Chains A and B, each alone.
Chain A
């Protein structure tokens, strides 16, 4: 392995302090600074290079990556979002029907996700809610009462839903949450067909 003499090391260490060394020069400097008999003035630089070499061995804890992989591969977040998407889609369908039936009661261009739900009985019909309060969506069975949160989840969910449209039904078909989501949509469709005939 190539090493510089003291004079050359000193010169290069000065150049290094000025930020003027190339990566190759820095590699050779690091190698030369491993000499245990270095003069005192070069020891701080040698200590720094030793520290930097040691820092290169610091690794990302395995738990960080395994947690990420678990989330990524399980698809649980996708399904969670898918569920919200289905519910939102259902609400949107409900809105269209409601607008058709009661055109004077809503201002379509200004509707938000929350407003889609508020005041209508789809939530009660689908989720068995008995309280007449504004619920803007559901996450893990819990009502979302903050319209901004619901809107953020909706945007997120639509993005994820869009990304997964081309996935095979073999992948998502057997999963319970997906079945539930589609059931909700189907119920909305049934409701849409029944509604006009109701008194």
Chain B
């Protein structure tokens, strides 16, 4: 892979990689740090990248694996909800939409990591189930099932919040 090809690939993928890291770690600062690290590793391994059939999926996989390593190293699989709530509350702007956004952020952060990853890749990045299956190392039917569980959980909980008039 030439330097130009590498730069083009990174330009194409950087935002998506950052968003995935941010979603899995539930922390923008940690995501920045992790992505920096991933870019450096990928730069050293750029020859391997060019030999791959699907380099974009590989980049997603690399980000996810690094995130999982980081979560494991903290001996916690899921991000503390209280911390997530504080973070998103601090990021939002005033108004009704900001409240809804904060609630959705927290609801997604409460999902198990796999559901969080699948819902992110599908509903935010618009990836196909085939590619999500490649990234998560699952079958497509399993991806659909995980996606369904995640969507139902978030939808039902959001419905309860909105019905109770807290928003």
Contacts and interface: CB of A to CB of B under 8 A. Distances in A.
Contacts of A50: 97, 100
B154 A64 contact: no
A23 B128 contact: yes
A171 interface: no
B144 A20 contact: yes
Interface in B1-50: 7, 10, 14-15, 17-19, 22, 32, 35-36, 39-40, 43-44, 47
B141 to A, nearest CB: 10
Contacts of B146: 19
B55 to A, nearest CB: 17
B49 to A, nearest CB: 13
B14 A60 contact: yes
Interface string A2-46: 000000000000001111100100100000000000000101110
A52 interface: yes
Contacts of B83: none
A60 B151 contact: no
Interface string B124-167: 11101000000000000001111110011011001100100000
Interface of B: 7, 10, 14-15, 17-19, 22, 32, 35-36, 39-40, 43-44, 47, 97, 100-101, 104, 123-126, 128, 143-148, 151-152, 154-155, 158-159, 162
Given A19-B145, A47-B162, A55-B124, 4 more contacts: A23-B128, A58-B19, A60-B18, A68-B36
